[in-house]
Structure 1
Amino acid sequence: MMLSTLITVASTACSIFALPVKRQSSPRPTEKLGRGVAAVRSSANSTFISWLLLGLDTDNIGFTIYRSSNGANTTRLDSEILTKGTNYLDSTANLGQSNRYWVRSVINGKEQSPASGSFTLPANNAQESIVRVPIRPGARVKHGTQQDLEAYRRDGKFLWKVGTGPDSENQNNIEPWSSGIDVGQWDGVTVYDLGSDDIAEVIVHISTAEGANNDEQFIAVLNGKTGALRATARIRNDYIEHGPFAARLGVAFPDGTHPHIIAFMKNRQEDKKFNRNLDAWVFDGSKITEEWMYDDQNDGSGSDGHNTRIIDADGNGKDEVGEIMFVLNGDSTLKHDMASSGIGHCDRWQIAKMDPTRPGLQGHSVLWKNYGDEVANIGRGRVDDIDPNHPGMELWSEGGSGLYNASSDTLLEEDTTLYPFELYNDSKLEEWDPANPSKSGSLPRIFRIDKYGSINPGDPNPGFLGDIFGDWHEEVITTNAAYDELIIFTTDQPRSTGWYLQNAHVDYYIGTGMDRPPKPNIRYIGA
């Protein structure tokens, strides 16, 4: 089934496509999450607390919020049940003491059990919209040395360390050695509750112990609490004469029922061409079994990029796996291929509800045609609603190629300097001002990370961009220069919109004039 081209943006070679909408027949399995309470000191005498609204929460849900100072008696803070948002501003606490916060959901006027998990704001915490997590000194990963994988609780308690061995030393961002993790586009590690027991597993791409054979690579599942090895499965590599596979990992529900480990892997031939495989495995609690492998050389598809997107794009309850130029069905058959369009490698792409007036989701690949008949590969790009004057989302790329409205194919600003990581650029968060587009050469700055002792560990990129606190505001994760602290930039603003950064896309439209999101057809898994 081919995707129909909906829009080809003027003077670009990027395409926006949509998948036909189907009806999901059964609830989608979803991890059971807690409320994710987080707190920051937002002023000299107040604390901003936020928490999650969950997918199966009822429409009439409310919350009560509690505080314990220095471990003393519990105080309920709200005078009436909170129903207008999942955040609260506490201006009554003694911030010279530690303050622990938690919430309870309320349905039909009755508090529910159990209470949420809690978050403790330390005594005399700095006034900043930051959560700081101490990590062990010396945890820094240096280029060209062996890498370690470490686990910490949010309060900074160290849990475990796993060394990836000498086969992680070569960290070339195109051809890393067989155990290289967090190298360029190759993360080589992901986390998910594969066992549905409320304890996440850590999945890692690794070679044999002690660097015995750089050609033997495995998918390994580790116990998330202890780091202990639970199972391994050997990775098939029919192109090993060209070296080990670099890997990008994720988790999908391609059958609509069971979580699968997904790996996009490739190595490079001497003529600079790539061999590419997409693999899927299932972990049953004791062993890892390969379900399918899509061999690009033999099965044939378009080119790849630097983003793997996993989403139920056609709404049938089963995830598709997309690699920019091609999209696979959950059974590994080819759903979409752009090879026939003549478009090759792109770096970034997005799948989102870009146009609220069209059915289904849309996809956007960033490959801008900048001048004449030449096509240039632009490294970064983004799609989000940043101009409320135009329905739907806007799209732009690195290199000042223009800001377009995706729904109407309208050029809104020709000489924009919006940057690769959307509005987070060069260690600062900036804000697009649609009322004054002529000022786009110098965007209003919200903050610089170095003001808070922070650096980008993946210079020039942060460690992570995404909504890890689940409060509809994006977090930016960095470190300090000594690499003994994670610095997580969050928000202290009680509002309903957030920072839309690298991966904040869902399967409904988020932006100005959005409708109330539909109740998701999901079921919680786990205890």
Structure 2
Amino acid sequence: MKHQGWMRGWLFVPLLLVATQAYSQAQMERLSRGVVAVRSGSSSVYVGWRLFGNDPAGIAFNLYRSTAGGSATLLNGTPITTSTNFVDNSAPTSQANTYFVRPVLNGVEQANSASFTLPANAATAQYLQIPLQVPAGGTTPSGESYTYTANDMSVGDLDGDGEYEYVLKWDPSNAKDNSQSGYTGNVYLDAYELNGTRLWRIDLGRNIRAGAHYTQFIVYDLDGDGRAEVAAKTADGTRSGTGQVIGSASADHRNSSGYILAGPEYLTIFNGQNGAILATTDYIPARGNVGSWGDTYGNRVDRFLAGVAYLDGQRPSLIMSRGYYTRAVIVAWDWRNGQLTQRWTFDSNASGNSAYAGQGNHNLSIADVDADGRQEVIFGAATIDDNGRGLYVSGLGHGDALHVGDFIPSRAGLEIWGIHESSSVPGADLRDARTGARIFAINNTSGSEGPGRGVAGDIYAGNAGAEFWGSGPGMTSLFNASGGSVGRTPSSANFLVWWDSDTVRELLDSNHIDKYGTSSDTRLLTGSGVTSNNGTKATPALSGDVLGDWREEVIWRTTDNAYLRIYTTTNVATNRLYTFLHDPQYRVALAWQNVAYNQPPHPSFFVGAGMSAPPTPNITIVGGGNPGTEHTYQAENGLVGGGTVTENTNAGYLGNAYVNSSANGGYLEIRDVDGRGGGSKTLAIRFALGVTSSRTGRLLVNGAAQNITFNPTGSWTAWSTLNVPVTLNNGSNVLRFESTGQDLGNIDQVTVQ
């Protein structure tokens, strides 16, 4: 077990090691160091980068700058150990400056990270900017004109290069709440690189209605191939990023009120690289009798939520649902090896589940509430176990806000802060996430609808643990973990962000960030020329730890929809935490953040004043390990096909398995192989060949082929090493082993030397 040191104030505090139980390791994307640089002053550049959750405890970093393509200059005097950011006070302003870091282990520099280039004459600004391509507006069948606004978004590594792409939903100006009649324009999903390159556009079509409750989309690497997919509900006329049409392109199932209560409904998995259709199946559950969901005009039947959960503790599953005011149906799907299969369905109409009806929120959360290494679905006032069975229900019904995290570090496990709408129940409650036992509740004494907002997080260092507050009946104070008042109500109750240099969280609302104070809040940032989404929810397009160090970025759209701006802190932290992206609860929260009434992400551990060391995350990295700090790739983590399979029959292998190729046409492909600076390298291939004659196949390095020959090792349990000279690129490489008429040796692992 290992962790890194961190600094609190000026005092070095060594991290305590927290034991991790021997559960399955959650499979996480292979990220770059996420280096980001912005000009923070006329003569200064702020640079931040990621610490990984599985980095060795003693890791340090050297930061380099290359100006105008020249040789790289070391910027720090001694390796950096106390934070993962730096201010460069000597960067020329009139030339492009490229930054990268090299990890330092046991005094030895490792390979370069991926780099970030700040262009020449960059303005002093706290943001990066992605240019957008606004869809053309249109006219509804009733003659109403509409235009488009950039709305919610998500992130994922769509092409497997370790860098995030940005998937944006375009909403028409006539998007509707389910309770509102009227036609809407089509909804579009765009994918952009950080440099503004648009990869694809998906048109969900006329038979998907626009609105916060209709158009949920999930971006995540669901099959562990190192590239994220995009999942969404689709219908007749949906057009993929490559022009494929689902169902009938001419079908129009809209009724005269603009509702879509007839016609087929589908669930589609799209290729993240090009937007092509990978699989389409019937959406479950079907709408059936519209009236059985609570009304006959189409309001309650089309309430959808979505998410991602590590239901087996190891690989992510897609969560899709329908209904929450009355009947609620939640379905878990697995996307594996090119097949979309249903894992389980939870239906409140099923025998024994009636108490779960009417308990859903306008949002959900995903977390391992019972500490068994597998995640559950927190569906408002109900919690569904990882096996698809009801775990418990609080019975407090529907609400608008939901927060799940370790808010009370002095007690075991996670807590849930929920807001409830009914006038006959408490307006908010804090409950034990494992059992549903109430910790405290805030009464709704108004006799009318309860609070519309509620937030949980440590925003006030003067109180131990997190604080709880909201907006609406009963929300008269900032509450502590027992429901007592510890101060005035904050100025907003919408979103949160870790922004400045301490571990206390800040308030995020509309286009500004505030720090809570006992007498008043202090404005830390106002985003000029940008605006929030979703009316009074006033949420950003996305907020979370997507670049740089552990602190969070905020992504707003410009008021003219011409750009997305990714705002990053320029405060130099005196502490060091690993990226929240390596905490599975936080990472899946980024995936569901765009769903319905957006909520901020929370990690599975407490972050705030007086925090203890975060636990070492129980994760494995797709492709074998982090770039720049390792160079061995387990064959079983690669892609296989053509009859080649993974096995664990013959003893002596390292890792979890080895790869046994087929005689002709089989292949093993290992992606994202770190070139460790590029140039001439040696691949050390660990293999076993229990026959008496040699076997020759083909090795392709980034598409360039050469023959390789495996000699007999004496038995299938005797392992040897084949050394093959190759030329690698600096950064990411692809290795492919192919059988060409002869079976290959059993391949265990590949090391870049």
TM-score > 0.5 by shorter chain? yes
Maintained 8 Å contact 2:36/2:547? yes
Q: How does 1:110-509 map to 2 (within 5 A)?
A: 110-113=108-111, 115-138=112-135, 140=148, 141=170, 142-143=172-173, 144-168=184-208, 170-171=209-210, 183-209=211-237, 210=249, 212=251, 215-242=263-290, 245-266=302-323, 274-298=326-350, 299-300=353-354, 301-302=356-357, 303-339=359-395, 343-367=396-420, 368=427, 369=442, 372=445, 374=447, 376-399=449-472, 401-414=475-488, 416-422=490-496, 423-434=507-518, 436=519, 439=520, 443-449=521-527, 451=528, 453-459=529-535, 460-469=538-547, 471-495=549-573, 496=575, 502-509=599-606
Mapped to 2, the partners of 1:149 and 1:238 lie a distance apart of: 24
Tell me how many residue pairs correspond in the alignment: 478
Q: Aligned in 2, Cα 1:416/1:36: closer, same or farther, shift over 3 Å?
A: closer
In terms of mean alpha carbon deviation, does 60-69 or 497-506 score higher? 497-506
Q: How does 1:66-81 map to 2 (within 5 A)?
A: 66-81=64-79
Residue aligning to 2:9? none
The one-character-per-residue Cα deviations of 1:276-301 (angstroms, maximum 9, x if unpaired) are 21111111132211111111233321
Determine if contact 1:266/1:275 at 8 Å carries over to the other structure.
yes
When the two chains are superposed, the root-mean-square deviation of aligned CA atoms in Å is 2.6
Offset, 1:502: 4.6
TM-score, structure 1 length as denominator? 0.84
Aligned AA for 1:292?
Answer: W
Which one has the largest radius of gyration? Answer: 2
How far apart are 1:154 and its partner, in Å?
Answer: 0.9
2:349 aligned partner, one-letter code: Q
Question: Residue 297 of structure 1 aligns to a residue in which SS?
Answer: coil
Paired position in structure 2 for 1:11: none
1:246 CA displacement: 4.1
1:419-442 deviation line (CA, Å, top 9, x unaligned): 3235222322222113x2xx3xxx
- Percent of aligned pairs with the same residue? 29
Q: What CA distance in whole angstroms lies between the structure 2 residues aligned with 1:186 and 1:104?
A: 45
SS of the equivalent of 1:391 reads coil
Which amino acid in the other structure matches residue 127 of structure 2? I
Aligned partners of 1:373 and 1:133: how far apart in 2?
46
* Preserved contact between residue 222 and residue 228 of structure 2 (Cα < 8 Å): yes
**How far 1:410 moved relative to its partner?**
2.0
Counterpart amino acid of residue 153 in structure 1: E
Q: What letter matches 2:517 in structure 1? A: D
Change (3 A) 1:134 1:195: same
Secondary structure in 1 matching 2:349: helix
Query: 1:296-331: CA deviations, max 9, x gaps?
Result: 233321511122111112221111111121111111
Matched residue of 1:198: which SS? Answer: coil
Residues of 2 paired with 1:68 and 1:90: CA distance? 12
Counterpart of 1:509 in 2: which secondary structure? coil
Secondary structure in structure 2 of the residue aligned to 1:48: strand
TM superposition shift of 1:187: 4.8
Mapped pair 1:517 → 2:614: yes
> Contact 2:318/2:333 (CA < 8 Å) preserved in 1?
yes
Contact 2:366 2:375 in 1 (8 A): yes
- When residues 291 and 470 of structure 1 are mapped into structure 2, their CA distance, relative to the original with a 3 A threshold, is farther
Distance in 1, matches of 2:467 and 2:78, equals 40
SS of aligned partner of 2:275: coil
Does structure 1 conserve the Cα–Cα contact (< 8 Å) formed by 2:64 and 2:74? yes
Is the 1:41–1:128 Cα contact (8 Å) retained in structure 2? yes
Letter in 1 for 2:620: R
The 1-side partners of 2:414 and 2:391 are apart by 15
Q: Match for 2:468: what amino acid?
A: L
Is the CA contact (8 Å cut-off) linking 2:458 and 2:467 kept in structure 1? yes
How far is the alpha carbon of 1:240 from its aligned partner?
2.9
Q: Are the counterparts in 1 of residues 83 and 576 from structure 2 also a CA contact under 8 Å?
A: no
- 1:160-212 CA distances to partner (integer Å, 9 max, x unpaired)? 111111123x32xxxxxxxxxxx325551111112322211111221133363
Whole-angstrom distance in 2 between the partners of 1:381 and 1:254: 28
Alpha-carbon distance in structure 2 between the residues aligned to 1:503 and 1:48: 25
Distance 1:188 1:51, change over 3 A: same
1:87 CA drift (Å):
0.7
In the TM superposition, what is the alpha-carbon distance from 1:92 to its structure 2 partner?
Answer: 1.0
1:467/1:473 contact within 8 Å kept:
yes
> Is the Cα–Cα contact under 8 Å of residues 368 and 375 in structure 2 kept in the other structure?
yes
What letter is aligned with 1:444? T
Alignment-mate amino acid for residue 64 of structure 1: N
Contact 1:36/1:51 (CA < 8 Å) preserved in 2? Answer: yes
SS in 1 for 2:281: strand
CA distance in structure 2 between the aligned counterparts of 1:328 and 1:137, rounded to whole angstroms: 39
Q: How does 1:95-110 map to 2 (within 5 A)?
A: 95-110=93-108
Distance 1:216 1:198 in 2: 32
CA contact (8 A) 1:245 1:265 kept: yes
Cα 1:477–1:161, aligned 2, differ >3 Å: closer, same or farther? same
Contact 1:100/1:120 (<8 A) preserved: yes
The residue type paired with residue 456 of structure 1 is S
Q: 1:402 touches 1:416 (CA, 8 Å); kept in 2?
A: no
Deviations 1:66-97 (A, max 9, x none): 22222222222222111111111111111222
CA contact (8 A) 1:48 1:89 kept: yes
Q: Deviations over 1:83-119 (max 9, x none)?
A: 1111111111112222221112111111223x22222
Shift of 1:47: 0.8
CA distance in 2, matches of 1:227, 1:389: 49
After TM superposition, give the deviation of residue 29 of structure 1 in Å: 2.5
Deviation (angstroms), 1:59: 0.7
Q: Does 1:44 align with 2:128?
A: no
Shift of 1:370: 5.9
CA distance 1:104–1:276, change in 2 (3 Å):
same
Could you tell me whether the CA contact under 8 Å between 1:50 and 1:88 is conserved in 2? yes
Q: Distance in 1 between matches of 2:550 and 2:476?
A: 27
Indicate if the aligned counterparts of 2:58 and 2:106 stay in contact, CA closer than 8 A.
Answer: yes
8 Å Cα contact 1:466/1:502 also seen in 2:
no
The answer for unaligned runs of 5 or more in structure 1 is 1-20, 172-182, 268-272
Post-superposition CA distance 1:337-379 (Å, at most 9, x none)? 012xxx2211111111111110111111123356646364212
- Structure 2 residue ranges without an equivalent (≥5): 1-18, 137-147, 149-169, 174-183, 238-248, 254-261, 291-297, 421-426, 428-441, 497-506, 581-585, 587-597, 624-670, 672-753
Cα offset, 1:122, TM superposition: 1.9
SS in 2 for 1:275: coil
